[in-house]
């Protein structure tokens, strides 16, 4: 039977990053991935000869190369990946769009500050104090008790519209809980989106995954694709072995799982009593990807990189009540990064909205296809209301289209209910009731591309290298 120092479940960002770290330190490490493609929630695929990214809008946490303690530069150092190889292009500028109000922001925080001062002059002092609160918070400490971010923000900001405008991007890009979030998570998201910023490799997520896999291989890590872990067999309080989908068994001293906390405990051979109340997440999304012949600047959409929109008086970030919640969402235009001379070959517009897993799951195959077609136009219209007037005729000009729903996420990542941001309760120290089984990635609590890599590194350091 094969024996490893560390077995990692999942070749997403956190699993590969953990693997690189462990391989660098001479551990015999193997990553087991059920899918044929690496990348997990942020993978890539081809359809009708065209390359698509599964989810990439932007890499958050963008800072300039010299900023030593910033997460992006820290992980690249720890993974021994060069900044130049990432080939990142910065966003042109993004926007939070609410009825009658816009707040623009970019990779220069001064823009958001000036926008808040102009649109909410009575709130700018409170906003600056909130930024001080964010900077004073120790986001490296795993054991900080839960504190409602809404209550902290409300202690600084009186206008509920500004409060909601601040929360909207932070929730869409990383909240597994409805309407409120832990202040610790708020701090991580606020820094990664507003104080740092957005960038994108011109080649998309492939570039990041290729670099990670190359590094992992060079460091001596082993990767087994199309090889799911079916069961985590326990002996008392320890993992004794892993049973793979094929029936093969392997042994490992330590198991790091990026499959999600409830998903991981669900693989255990005995029922595991968890001291952490950790239910399956309720929040999932749908995303449409529309391809156009020309760059969006040709139809008047050349300025916004990402637009977070909300059409209601108050922004509600909750599980959708119908198949899709059209009242808020995110529009991402991958063309609108500063690529210099070399733009993207086609125009791309991605629109994300909250969606209901149960509804999509209940459809027959035909109903599912019909509903995708039905919602496609509605989602487009909801998003278009927040964009500049355009000469575009969607049904005439859109030359290719794809769409994922909560069931797509579940089918390809085995994330229950397609809950992209995982369980509502996070396990910040990565521990489980099993002494040599730990979680990394989404359910450890660091989200997004940079966050999940940070999580993989931190969990490898804490549980397998100390
Ligand atoms: C549509 C979409 C858009 C996104 N956009 C962005 C963005 O623009 N910017 C950003 O920073 N983040 C974005 N994210 C979030 C980001 O992709 C995730 O937070 C991050 O990739 C999570 O990585 P992870 O390693 O924690 O988990 P995952 O990516 O979920 O990796 C877990 C892996 O485990 C595998 N697995 C599960 N069960 C088993 C098993 N039993 N055996 C073997 N393997 C198993 C899965 O197949 C998967 O590959 C987006 C996510 C989605 C879905």
Q: What's the angle, vertex CA 122, arms to CA 117 and CA 123, rounded to 5? A: 65
Cβ of 452 less than 6 Å from ligand 1: yes
Ligand 1 centre to CA of 260 (Å) is 10
Ligand 1 atom 34 nearest Cα: 10
Ligand 1 centre to CA of 93 (Å) is 26
Residue located via tokens 């991981």: 264
Ligand 1 atom 18 nearest Cα: 448
Question: CA-to-CA distance for 6 and 322, rounded, in angstroms?
Answer: 43
Ranges of CATH 3.50.50.60 domains, the chain: 3-77+203-280+422-465
Cβ of 57 less than 6 Å from ligand 1: yes
For domain 3-77+203-280+422-465, the CATH class is alpha beta
Q: Which of 21, 33, 41 to mutate to test the pocket of ligand 1 (most atoms within 8 A of CB)?
A: 41
Ligand 1 atom 16 nearest Cα: 448
Ligand 1 atom closest to 267 (CA): 41
Ligand 1 centre to CA of 157 (Å) is 34
Ligand 1 atom 4 nearest Cα: 55
Ligand 1 atom 8 nearest Cα: 57
Q: What is the pLDDT of residue 447?
A: 87
Residues 6 or more apart in contact with residue 98 via CB below 8 angstroms: 161, 164, 165, 168, 309, 310, 315
Ranges of CATH 3.90.660 domains, the chain: 282-420
Question: CA-to-CA distance for 144 and 140, rounded, in angstroms?
Answer: 9
The one-digit pLDDT tens for each residue of the chain (466 residues) are 999 999 999 999 999 999 999 999 999 999 999 999 999 999 999 999 999 999 899 999 999 998 888 999 999 999 999 999 999 999 999 999 999 999 999 999 999 999 999 999 999 999 999 999 999 999 888 788 999 999 999 999 999 999 999 999 999 999 999 999 999 999 999 999 999 999 999 999 999 999 999 999 999 999 999 999 999 999 999 999 999 999 999 999 999 999 999 999 999 987 776 545 568 888 999 999 999 999 999 999 999 999 999 999 999 999 999 999 999 999 999 999 999 988 999 999 999 999 999 999 999 999 999 999 999 999 999 999 999 998 899 999 999 999 999 999 999 999 999 999 999 989 999 999 999 999 999 999 988 999 999 999 999 999 999 8
Q: Which of 173, 448, 457 to mutate to test the pocket of ligand 1 (most atoms within 8 A of CB)?
A: 448
For domain 282-420, the CATH class is alpha beta
């Amino acid at each position: 039977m094969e024996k490893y120092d560390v077995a990692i479940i999942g070749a997403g960002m956190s699993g590969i990053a953990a693997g690189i770290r462990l391989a660098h330190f001479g551990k015999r490490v193997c990553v087991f991935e059920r899918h044929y493609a690496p990348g997990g929630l942020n993978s890539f695929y081809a359809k009708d000869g065209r390359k698509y990214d599964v989810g990439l809008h932007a890499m958050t946490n963008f800072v300039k190369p010299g900023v030593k303690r910033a997460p992006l530069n820290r992980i690249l150092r720890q993974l021994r990946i060069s900044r130049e190889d990432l080939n990142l292009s910065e966003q042109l500028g993004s926007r939070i769009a609410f009825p009658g109000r816009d707040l623009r922001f970019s990779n220069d925080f001064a823009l958001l500050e000036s926008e808040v001062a102009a649109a909410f002059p009575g709130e700018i002092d409170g906003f600056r104090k909130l930024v001080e609160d964010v900077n004073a918070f120790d986001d490296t400490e795993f054991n900080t008790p839960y504190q409602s971010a809404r209550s902290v923000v409300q202690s600084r900001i009186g206008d509920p519209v500004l409060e909601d405008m601040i929360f909207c991007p932070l929730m869409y890009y990383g909240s597994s809980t409805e309407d409120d979030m832990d202040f610790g998570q708020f701090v991580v998201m606020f820094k990664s989106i507003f104080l740092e910023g957005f960038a994108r490799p011109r080649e998309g997520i492939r570039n990041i995954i290729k670099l990670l896999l190359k590094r992992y291989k060079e460091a001596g890590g082993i990767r087994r694709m199309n090889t799911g872990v079916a069961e985590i067999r326990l002996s008392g309080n320890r993992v004794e072995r892993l049973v793979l989908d094929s029936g093969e068994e392997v042994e490992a001293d330590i198991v790091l799982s990026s499959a999600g906390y409830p998903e991981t405990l669900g693989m255990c051979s005995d029922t595991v009593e968890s001291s952490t109340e950790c239910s399956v997440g309720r929040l999932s999304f749908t995303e449409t990807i529309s391809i156009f012949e020309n760059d969006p600047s040709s139809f008047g959409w050349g300025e916004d990189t990402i637009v977070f929109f909300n059409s209601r008086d108050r922004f509600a970030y909750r599980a959708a009540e119908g198949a899709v919640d059209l009242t808020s969402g995110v529009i991402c235009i991958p063309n609108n990064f500063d690529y210099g001379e070399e733009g993207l070959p086609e125009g791309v517009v991605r629109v994300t909205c909250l969606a209901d897993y149960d509804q999509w799951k209940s459809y027959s195959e035909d109903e599912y296809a019909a509903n995708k077609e039905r919602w496609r136009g509605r989602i487009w219209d909801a998003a278009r209301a927040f964009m500049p007037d355009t000469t575009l005729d969607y049904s005439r000009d859109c030359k290719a289209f794809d769409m994922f729903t909560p069931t797509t996420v579940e089918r390809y990542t085995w994330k229950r209910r397609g809950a992209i941001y995982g369980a509502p309760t996070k396990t910040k120290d990565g521990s489980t009731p099993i002494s040599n089984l730990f979680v990394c990635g989404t359910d450890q609590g660091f989200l997004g591309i940079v966050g999940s890599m940070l999580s993989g590194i931190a969990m490898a350091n804490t549980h397998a290298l100390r």
